[in-house]
Structure formats: C-alpha cells, structure tokens
A and B are shown apart, each in its own frame.
Chain A
Amino acid sequence: MDKAYKHHEEPLMRITARSDMPAGKAWIIRVLAIVFALVVGGLVILSLGHNPFSVYADMLRGSLATKTARVETVKIAVPLLGTALAITPAFKMKFWNIGAEGQIMAGAIAASYFALYWYKVLPGPLLILVMLIAGAVAGGIWGVIPAIFKAKWGVNETLFTLMFNYIIIGFEKYLQNGPWIKEGTTYPKIDMFDQAARLPKVLGVHVGWIAVLVLTVVMFFYLKYTKQGYEISVVGESVRTAQYAGMNVKKVIIRTMIISGVISGIVGFLIVSGADYTLNENTSGGIGFTAISVAWLARLNPFVMIFISAFLAILSKGSNTIQTDFKIPASAAGVLTGIILLCMLGGEFFVNYKLIFRHKKHAELPKGGEEA
C-alpha cells in the first residue's frame, strides 16, 4: 500500500477544469480538431488507393460548385439546422431528447394527412398553413408525452424518447402499407403531393431555409434574453436551485419539450412539403440523431449551428459526388461525419480542462500557483 501511495503522490500530470479560455483560442482548438479528423479521414481514403486531396476537392466541387449542387446542399442543411434548434432548449435543460427523429416523423405524418386528403378542399395557402399547424401540433404531442412522464414520475427520458421514434416510424410503415398506399403500385408507397401542398421556392430552395434562419435568431434571443430561457438554464444547471428559487420545474420541463417537439414537427412538415413531396419511412432519415451532435458541438449556440450543419451537409452531398467520380461508397459520409464528431468531442476536453505537468507545476509554484 505504501509503495503504491508514494507512486501516486506526485502524478506526472494532473487535470484541472478551466473556464478562462478566450473564445478565439477555443475556436482554434475546434478547427484543429476538424483538421485532425480530416487527416484521419484522408488516411482512410489513402488506404483505398485514392489521393485524399483530390477526393476532398471533388467533395467541395460536388457540393458547392454549381447552383444545382448548392441547392441540394442547402436542402440537406435546412432540416439539420432546424432539428438542432429544436433539440437545443431541451438539451440546455439537460433533458436528453433523442426523440427528434420521431417528432419529425409525427409532424411529417400529420402534415401529409392534409396534403393527401384535403388538397381539393382547402385553397393553396390555407392548405400549407393547415399542414404547418398540423405538423407542429403532432410534433408537440409526440414530444410532450415523455416530458409528462419525466416530470411527474421521473421516467428516463433518453430511452422513452428513443422508443417513441420506433413506434411512430412503425406507424408510418403501417400507413404506407395500408390506409395511405398509392393505388395501383406493386411497391408500397405513398403518392406524391399535389402542387398546392408543396412549399414555394425562394432562390431555388423551398422557403424553409428562411424559416430556419429566422428561427435561429429567435432561438438565440429566447434562450438568452427571456424569462423562460433563463428558467431553462437554471433547471439545466440545478433542479434544486430552480425549486428553491420558486420555479415550477415540472411546468418548465413540459413547456420546453412542447417547444422542442413543435419545432421538430415543423421540420417534418418542411421535409415532406418542401423537399420530398411525399412521405416514407426515411423521411426523418437519422436527422434527429445527427442534429444532436450538431447542437452539442455548437455548444448550444444557435448561430454556430448554421456553420456545423452546413459543414455536415457539404460532407453528405459531397459523398454522393465521390461515389460517382471515384467509386467510393457514399457511406463515406457516415464515416467522415462520425470521425469529425468524435474528434470534435475529444477536442472540447482541451477547451474545458488544462493539463498541468509535474515539472511545470514546480516551476510555477514560487509564483503562487496559477489557479485563482
């Protein structure tokens, strides 16, 4: 025991928390993490016998060079950003909502119902409005159920929201194979929406891109400058503090998850009405999960999410290009996204903590230590 104790008496290196890193330096570390990830990804590309530089250049060209490419890239980024914004208030509250995937689907199903069965009844703009509201309400309902159980009985929300994803996706498959199936096709699918149920375009992309940009600003102010936003932060930091301050924690949890679900539901509406013009089991297509990483890596800062979701959209669109040009499977997008996410998560450590080495500590002792 003594020996072991002596050995640990003076560790080679110790770790302390820090909160004093200047924002600029922190972003340099994050960019370095991305560069590191691209180098790792480059090694994978190299191992397949391709030149990483020309592959990366091709990705950029394929996602940004032409107008069609840019439109496609923005189309991928819009739901990603919207969902990241949806998750943000919940995550700020430390409510681990990994059910955005299902909330998107709930919204998409509700919006599709009106698009498929009411397009003859309702006039164009009203139809779109009804679809929007239906999507928002359905997403909100699907999001608030786990929140109620969490608030009232402390039921684990991570797994609850996760299960809800599969239940609603199963329900979509039921609709696709039965009640909503397109007549006269062998493969079960849902019919394309009528023109009236499709979102208009601005600069080549459906208006959803303006909506999510506006939402970015709104979310920033909501979280930073409103009473409700403040309550979310307090509940997230410490439930007991919130209770002591007289906040109704249950109400905050339920209200925040309604907001989270509503925004996800609207994203579902944007996907079916703006991009796909139909509904299928891949409508949410993993966006709910990727968006969690987007929100977290942006440190829940809405403006930073714009860049991260754009970046991931470029990767995703670019991977389709390298599939045709280099015969590299498009799943490369998943690999690269994964590597980048994991590296950036690791990089946060160097922003939040400081390593102090033994000799360094000795050298600085006479000055009276560096931690204040």
Chain B
Amino acid sequence: MTTVINFLCAAVLAGTPFLFGTVGEIITERSGNLNLGVEGMMFMGGVAGIAGAYFYEQSTANPIGWVAAIIAVVCAFVCAALGALVYSFLTVTLRANQNVTGLSLTIFGTGFGNFFGEVLGNKAGGYVVVTSQTKEAFSVGIPGLSNIPVVGKLLFSYNFLVYLGILIAVLAAIYFSKTRSGLNLRAVGESPATADAAGINVTKMKYLATCIGGGICGIGGMYIVMVTCSGVWVHNCVNGYGWIAVALVIFATWSPRRALIGSFVFGGLSVLRYYLHLGLNMAQSQMYDVLPYIVTVIVLIVTGIRQSREHAQPASCGLNYFREER
C-alpha cells in the first residue's frame, strides 16, 4: 500500500515538468504555431528562474524562501516568454518557417541555459545553488492537510508548482471550451483566413498564445532546476524533457484535460521501474526509458490513421498566415 502511494506521488512529481511543457505547447499550437522550441524555452526558464532566486538571495541579508520562489516563477515565465516572443516575431511578423525557427530557438535556448548557468556558477565560485529556505519553499506540501493519513500524502503533499500546473491546465481547458476568446483562438489555429474574415485579430492572438504558452513551458524548465535537481544548476539539466512535452501534445490530442492524464502517466512511466523491482540491469533500463517514445509513435499512428477531426492537430498548425497569399 505504502509503495503504491509512494509511486503515485513520485509519478505526479515526475510528471509536473511535462505538464507545464505540454499545456504551454498546446496553447501555442492551438494558435497554429508549431513551436519546436519547447526544449530551448525550458532551458531559458530554468536558468532565469535560478538566477532570479539567486540574485534575490544575494541582495538581502535574510532571504525569505517564498519570495525567492515567486521571483523564480516570474523570472522563468518572463524569460521563456521572451524566447517565444522572438519565435512569434520571426514566424508571425517575418513569416519565417516554423519548423526551422523552432529548432533554432531550441539551439539558442539550450546554449543560453548552459552558458548562463555556467557563468552564474563561475560567479558563485564553482556551482550555483539556492539557500535551503528556497529549497524548502519548493518542496513543502500544504501545511496541515498533508498530515492526513493516505489522502493527505496523495493529494496535499506536493510542492506549490504541482498545484499551479494543474490549475493552469484546468484554466486552459475552461478557456478553450467555455470562453469566446478561447473559441476565437481555436478558430485562428484551424483556419486563420476564416478567423480573419470574422474580425478576429489573428496576429494578436498568435502572439499572445505563443508567448503565454512559452512562458508556461519556461516554468516547467524551472521546475526541473528547482525541484528535480533541488535548486542546483546541472549542465544540460532539461535533457529532452521539452521534446517529450512536444510528443505529449499529440498524446493528449491537443486537449489540456488529457494533458493532465498524459503528463502524470508519462511521469509514472519514467519512475515505474524504481517501484516494480523488475530486476532490470543498466542496459535493460535504458531500453525501458524508450517506452514513452514508442507509446507516442503508436498514438501518432493511431490518430493519423483514424483521421478523427476532433482529435487532430489544429489544421493550420505549422503554416504561417499571410493575408495576401490566398
């Protein structure tokens, strides 16, 4: 029983960076922008988050953990959103190819994260690490409620970012299905020309969705640095998480609700082998780590063959809209 509960908790903790990346990318792709820069934006968010927290700690005598945590979230969001802004400017305004721009953003962001992570480390004398108060703020569950047996551990023991991620996913789901603006955004992603004719500001929608989506991805990167790596900048720490998030968008078939399930299932898959005691050796566990990608390929094939319109990629995804090109 305890093992099961421990496993479920570990799955949620491991799935949360996927959740941020996936929901961020869903919002982006819903506007018709296939931003392959998720990995890069996660790096940017990660390094900006730890830099923000670190500089705050250095600036005061008695740093408060919660303040550092909030600064980290804001810095991560803003920095990654700036990366997404560059992407939007190039693809929406300057009409550059989306695939190539996204890949370039990943190259840039990966370099950016590792470069400034190392510069920061040199400055801090070796490697950069946040204070224990800040680490505490990133690991503590909901006070009081988390002490309830079983339920407390299962539902209330997580750090605040887990709840923030779930909240964002739920809000995004409501936004897409229940608000006028959300429906407009979906229209932009499906057929920008129709949306344009209906009086929707396509450019504004694309910019906003891509930047907000990118910022959310950035929080996922910061989660990796602050929670997974416990507040230390580790070289190449994002290490493919962004690409899994891109894959999870398909797994979730562009729905934030299914992104919740998908992220935690993938989180579970990535930690399952520590709980199953399969007796895997090093080599077998490497093969095991490939499982999420194989699952994604199968999902891709099934959705591709079924050609279901409800569960398909937004129709204009990957294509730029140019009003005069009709």
Interface residues of A (CB under 8 A from B): 15-17, 48, 96, 98, 149, 153-156, 158-160, 162-164, 166-167, 170-171, 173-179, 181, 188, 286, 289-290, 292-293, 296, 327, 329, 331-339, 341-342, 345-346, 348-349, 352-353
Whether A329 touches B118, Cβ cut-off 8 Å, given contacts A156-B304, A167-B290, A170-B293, is: yes
> How many angstroms from the CA of A358 to the CA of B96 in the assembled complex?
25
Chain A contacts for B99, CB-based, 8 A: 96, 98, 158, 292
> Measured between C-beta atoms, what is the minimum distance from A147 to chain B in Å?
13
> Measured between C-beta atoms, what is the minimum distance from B109 to chain A in Å?
7
> How many angstroms from the CA of A292 to the CA of B287 in the assembled complex?
28
Q: Which residues between 311 and 326 of chain B lie within 8 Å of chain A, taking CB atoms?
A: 313, 318, 322, 324-325
> How many angstroms from the CA of A143 to the CA of B314 in the assembled complex?
26
Q: Which of B112, B240, B304 has the most CB of A within 10 A?
A: B304
Q: Does B283 contact A (CB under 8 A)?
A: yes
Q: Mark B228-259, 1 if CB is under 8 A from A, else 0.
A: 00000000000010010011001000000000
- Could you list 10 A-B pairs, sorted by A, with CB under 8 Å? A17-B322, A17-B324, A156-B250, A293-B103, A335-B111, A338-B105, A338-B111, A342-B108, A346-B90, A346-B94
What 6 pairs across the A-B complex have the smallest Cβ distances?
A334-B111, A338-B108, A178-B283, A155-B304, A170-B290, A349-B94
**Chief secondary structure at chain A's binding surface:** helix
Q: Does B133 contact A (CB under 8 A)?
A: no
Whether A177 touches B283, Cβ cut-off 8 Å, given contacts A293-B103, A332-B115, A338-B109, is: yes
Q: Does B4 contact A (CB under 8 A)?
A: no
Chain B contacts for A181, CB-based, 8 A: 283
Q: Flag if B119 contacts A48 (CB, 8 Å).
A: yes
> How many angstroms from the CA of A163 to the CA of B295 in the assembled complex?
10
Q: Flag if A327 contacts B122 (CB, 8 Å).
A: yes
Q: Which chain B residue shows the least CB distance to A334? A: B111
Q: Flag if B104 contacts A345 (CB, 8 Å).
A: yes
Q: Does B107 contact A (CB under 8 A)?
A: yes
> Measured between C-beta atoms, what is the minimum distance from A343 to chain B in Å?
9
Which among B89, B110, B293, B300 is the interface contact of A166 at CB below 8 angstroms?
A: B293
Which among B107, B122, B296 is the interface contact of A341 at CB below 8 angstroms?
A: B107
> Measured between C-beta atoms, what is the minimum distance from A3 to chain B in Å?
14
Q: Does B200 contact A (CB under 8 A)?
A: no
> Measured between C-beta atoms, what is the minimum distance from A254 to chain B in Å?
16
Q: Flag if B111 contacts A341 (CB, 8 Å).
A: no
Q: Flag if B286 contacts A164 (CB, 8 Å).
A: no
> Measured between C-beta atoms, what is the minimum distance from B90 to chain A in Å?
5
> How many angstroms from the CA of A346 to the CA of B290 in the assembled complex?
36
Which among A171, A178, A327 is the interface contact of B282 at CB below 8 angstroms?
A: A178
> How many angstroms from the CA of A277 to the CA of B289 in the assembled complex?
27
Chain B contacts for A292, CB-based, 8 A: 99-100, 103
> Measured between C-beta atoms, what is the minimum distance from A163 to chain B in Å?
5
Q: Flag if A167 contacts B294 (CB, 8 Å).
A: yes
Which among A166, A174, A334 is the interface contact of B287 at CB below 8 angstroms?
A: A174
Instruction: For the complex, count residues of B whose C-beta is within 8 A of A.
Output: 56
Chain A contacts for B281, CB-based, 8 A: 177-178
Whether A153 touches B304, Cβ cut-off 8 Å, given contacts A292-B100, A341-B107, is: yes
Q: Which of A160, A164, A166, A171 has the most CB of B within 10 A?
A: A166
Q: Does B278 contact A (CB under 8 A)?
A: no
Which among B90, B107, B112, B250 is the interface contact of A289 at CB below 8 angstroms?
A: B107
Whether A167 touches B297, Cβ cut-off 8 Å, given contacts A17-B324, A331-B114, A345-B94, is: yes
> How many angstroms from the CA of A329 to the CA of B118 in the assembled complex?
7
Q: Flag if B112 contacts A345 (CB, 8 Å).
A: no
Chain B contacts for A293, CB-based, 8 A: 100, 103-104, 107
Chain B contacts for A170, CB-based, 8 A: 286-287, 289-290, 293
Excluding A335-B108, A338-B108, 12 further A-B contacts by CB distance (< 8 Å) are: A153-B301, A155-B305, A156-B300, A158-B99, A163-B247, A166-B293, A170-B286, A174-B283, A289-B107, A331-B114, A342-B108, A352-B95
Chain A contacts for B134, CB-based, 8 A: none
> Measured between C-beta atoms, what is the minimum distance from B184 to chain A in Å?
16
Which among B34, B107, B301, B325 is the interface contact of A337 at CB below 8 angstroms?
A: B107
> Measured between C-beta atoms, what is the minimum distance from B202 to chain A in Å?
14
Q: Which chain A residue shows the least CB distance to B112? A: A335
Chain A contacts for B282, CB-based, 8 A: 177-178, 188
Whether A345 touches B101, Cβ cut-off 8 Å, given contacts A153-B305, A155-B304, A166-B240, is: yes
Q: Which chain A residue shows the least CB distance to B287? A: A174
Q: Flag if A162 contacts B96 (CB, 8 Å).
A: no
> How many angstroms from the CA of A342 to the CA of B111 in the assembled complex?
13
Which among A154, A158, A342 is the interface contact of B104 at CB below 8 angstroms?
A: A342
